Structure 1
């Protein structure tokens, strides 16, 4: 399904203790599929408990770059996502940016 020039990167974060995601997964994570040639996010999934949440988070990031933290993405999450995992989404995104850069330095 994914091209040879893609990598999978997982960003992790914590959610509130009363969050259903914490009760189910113990943390929040977003798995990003990224094209190495242009650093573009081509797909993702997150540890949401509701399908709509997963799809909505996907819509916030697919087509964007993962090579550096984009404050516009952070603002987009703050403006459009009003669930209890808002800060966790941003933290997982930041973690994924860091990991992606480590992967590119190490292997590519």
Structure 2
């Protein structure tokens, strides 16, 4: 009988991206950069889970809900538009920069 192992479903990989935060916001007093981490299903590009280093739990949770389920490979432009429209925090540009870095890392990993 096969032993069930956590993560035995579709293969996922963790990617991270970092970007400098603007001076004068709460998060920049805590961190110099915003860190975005994402678990991505390799074969599809679907974002399975996400986290970032914002100052508030509400912001962290909102970001995670906002990006989970999107395809990092084929829906990046739409995802950035959604972040521009729905995330109005001061770290918006830094989050988008970190997301673009993750996109580049994912494409390199896949050999694109």
> Structure 2-normalised TM-score?
0.85
Choose which of 53, 64, 67 in structure 1 pairs with 2:59: 53
Corresponding position: 1:35 with 2:41: yes
Relative to structure 1, the CA distance from residue 2 to residue 38 in structure 2 (aligned partners, 3 Å threshold; closer, same or farther) is farther
Aligned Cα root-mean-square deviation (Å) = 1.9
1:2–1:86 Cα change, 3 Å: farther
TM-score w.r.t. length of structure 1: 0.88
Alignment of 1:1-108 (within 5 A): 3-4=7-8, 5-68=11-74, 70-105=76-111
Matches of 1:99 and 1:2, distance apart in 2? 24
The 4+ residue runs of structure 1 with deviation greater than 6 A are: none
Give 5+ residue unaligned stretches, structure 1.
Answer: none
- The C-alpha deviation readout for 1:56-94, integer Å capped at 9, x for no partner, is 111221001112562211111111111101111111111
SS in 1 for 2:7: coil
Higher helix residue share: 1
* Equivalent residues, number: 106
